[in-house]
């Protein structure tokens, strides 16, 4: 039985018209896109769940702030407002704006990583892994074992396996570990949260071996909500107090503000120690890659919108609604017997495509199969979080086998209603009912060397 839908804690003041193409038009559109969902036109997608990054609906306060954005090239008042918001919420002494999360990684990671170095994470997402490799280093995932069983309901499946972390540091040599990254929430593991206790344990290991600890903070507010709800010692803490305690464990953070900043563009780098020698190097890279350090590739109006959005993201009524949407959709899948990474995470529902298509091997990309079928079924655009996204081993060139074969339904913030979620559930049920008829997946006919899933061409395997 579906859980009760949490009413939106806002009124809708502006709408955007969307249209559903016919089945025949959808099949032609995905064929022309080479069966790559990133190749579709946005206007050809009825419900767009490709990502929750930059696809959010901004508030009246944010739009009002945009009109007040200070567009001075250096030292704009909007920059200082964003810096003060970042310092207040995260407790870090240095806040550097950049144009999005991968820009934060491009600026920071080469300062800490290089050939022969390793970065360890509870789980790297695609662009973060790519920037580790572009810096010449290698990425190692170290998520807890419970996360690898989607049907197992356990709290904090995004946690780092602390024992394995320390074992990896000893095996590789602490001097060769350039960075430890804690992704909160853990996107690749299904939007699963990280506990405050786990963060403290990881911080203790990093301090013991002298390794910098970075938080990938894209969904920091959603993670804090889970901590307050499910971690006994934190239930009487405010969301902001939990965030401050979580970030007190880290030395650095990199953030795509396009998620829990509830904006369409922007990112941040944070440095806890305002006297860190890294700051001048971060500024130098920012000036080279992004623009002057007081705007970091963003217009003043964007800086203003982020400063407001960071505070809106930590409102408990908003977070209850936000997580409530995921729980409502997940409960519809529970009723239908459709497997997903459970319990549901913070920004989307990660459907277990391997369970839906047991006849399709990982190298034929079951997560991509389900994403294509959802589009053909109801104009829903989702994406693969599995072996297709993981790509090839950077040293051998061989296809890697992901721990999961998920199709991610990433829900944009403050955009879709209960009726849209019901359409998503009904489309998944329809695909599930004919899943056994789909005998093969896809092969790649062309791929770029880095982050292939954004551009690769695929074709159905028919033989």
Catalytic residues: 73, 125-126, 216, 218, 259, 453
The end-to-end CA distance of the chain, in Å, is: 41
Question: Omega of the bond prior to 38 within 30 degrees of 0, cis?
Answer: no
Rounded CA separation 374/319 (Å) = 28
Q: Cβ(371)–Cβ(286) under 8 Å?
A: no
HEC per residue, the chain? CCCCCCCCCCCCCCCCCCCCCCHHHHHHHHHHCCCCHHHCCHHHCCEECCCCCCCCCCCHHHHHHHHCCCCCCCCCHHHHHHHHHHHHHHCCCEEEEECCHHHHHHHHHHHCCCCCCEEEECCCCHHHHHHHHHCCCEEEECECHHHHCCCCCCCCCCCECHHHHHHHHHHHCHHHEEEEEEECCECCCCCECCCHHHHHHHHHHHHHHCCCEEEECCCHHHHHHHHHHHCHHHCCCCHHHHHHHHHCCCCEEEEECCCCCCCCCCEEEEECCCCCCHHHHHHHHHHHHCCCCCCCCCCHHHHHHHHHHHHHHCCHHHHHHHHHHHHHHHHHHHHHCCCECCCCCCCEEEEEHHHHCCCCCHHHCHHHHHHHHHHHHHCEECEEECHHHHCECCCCCCECCCCCCEEEEECCCCCCCHHHHHHHHHHHHHHHHCHHHCCCCEEEEECCCCCHHHCCEEEECCC
- Please say whether the beta carbons of 276 and 94 come within 8 A: yes
Q: Are strands 118-121 and 177-183 parallel, antiparallel or unpaired?
A: parallel
Distance (Å, whole) CA 117 – CA 262:
34
């Amino acid at each position: 039985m579906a859980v009760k839908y949490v009413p939106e804690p806002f009124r809708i003041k502006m709408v955007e018209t969307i249209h559903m193409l016919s089945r025949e038009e959808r099949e032609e559109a995905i064929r022309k896109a080479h069966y790559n969902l990133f190749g579709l036109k946005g206007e050809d997608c009825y419900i767009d769940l490709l990502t929750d990054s930059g696809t959010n609906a901004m508030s009246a306060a944010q739009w009002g702030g945009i009109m007040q954005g200070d567009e001075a090239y250096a030292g704009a008042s909007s920059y200082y407002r964003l810096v003060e918001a970042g310092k207040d919420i995260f407790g870090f002494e240095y806040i550097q704006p950049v144009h999005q999360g991968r820009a934060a990684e491009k600026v920071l990671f080469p300062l800490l990583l290089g050939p022969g170095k390793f970065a360890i994470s509870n789980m790297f997402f695609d662009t973060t892994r790519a920037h580790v490799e572009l810096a010449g280093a290698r990425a190692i995932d170290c998520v807890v074992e419970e996360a690898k069983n989607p049907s197992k309901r356990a709290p904090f499946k995004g946690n780092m396996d602390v024992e394995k972390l320390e074992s990896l540091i000893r095996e590789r040599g602490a001097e060769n570990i350039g960075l430890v990254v804690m992704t909160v929430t853990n996107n690749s593991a299904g939007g699963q949260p990280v506990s405050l206790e786990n963060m403290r344990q990881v911080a203790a290991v990093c301090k013991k071996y002298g390794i910098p600890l970075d938080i990938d903070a894209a969904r920091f507010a959603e993670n804090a909500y889970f901590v307050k709800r499910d971690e006994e010692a934190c239930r009487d803490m405010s969301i902001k107090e939990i965030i401050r305690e979580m970030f007190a464990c880290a030395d650095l953070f990199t953030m795509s503000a396009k998620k829990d900043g509830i904006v369409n563009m922007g990112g941040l780098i944070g440095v806890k120690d305002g006297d860190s020698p890294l700051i001048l190097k971060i500024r130098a890279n920012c000036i080279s890659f992004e623009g002057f350090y007081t705007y970091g590739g963003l217009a003043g109006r964007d800086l203003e919108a982020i400063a407001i959005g960071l505070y809106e993201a930590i409102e408990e009524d908003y977070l209850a609604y936000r997580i409530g949407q995921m729980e409502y959709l997940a409960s519809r899948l529970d009723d239908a017997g459709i497997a997903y990474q459970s319990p549901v995470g913070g920004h989307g529902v990660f459907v277990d495509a391997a369970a839906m298509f047991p006849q399709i091997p990982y190298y034929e990309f079951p997560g991509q199969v389900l994403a294509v079928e959802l589009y053909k079924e109801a104009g829903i655009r989702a994406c693969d979080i599995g072996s297709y996204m993981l790509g090839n081993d950077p040293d051998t060139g061989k296809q890697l086998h992901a721990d999961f074969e998920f199709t991610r339904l990433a829900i944009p913030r403050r955009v879709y209603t209960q009726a849209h979620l019901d359409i998503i559930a009904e489309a998944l049920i329809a695909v599930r009912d004919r899943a056994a008829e789909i005998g093969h997946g896809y092969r790649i006919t062309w791929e770029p060397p880095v982050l292939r899933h954004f551009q690769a061409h695929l074709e159905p395997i028919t033989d």
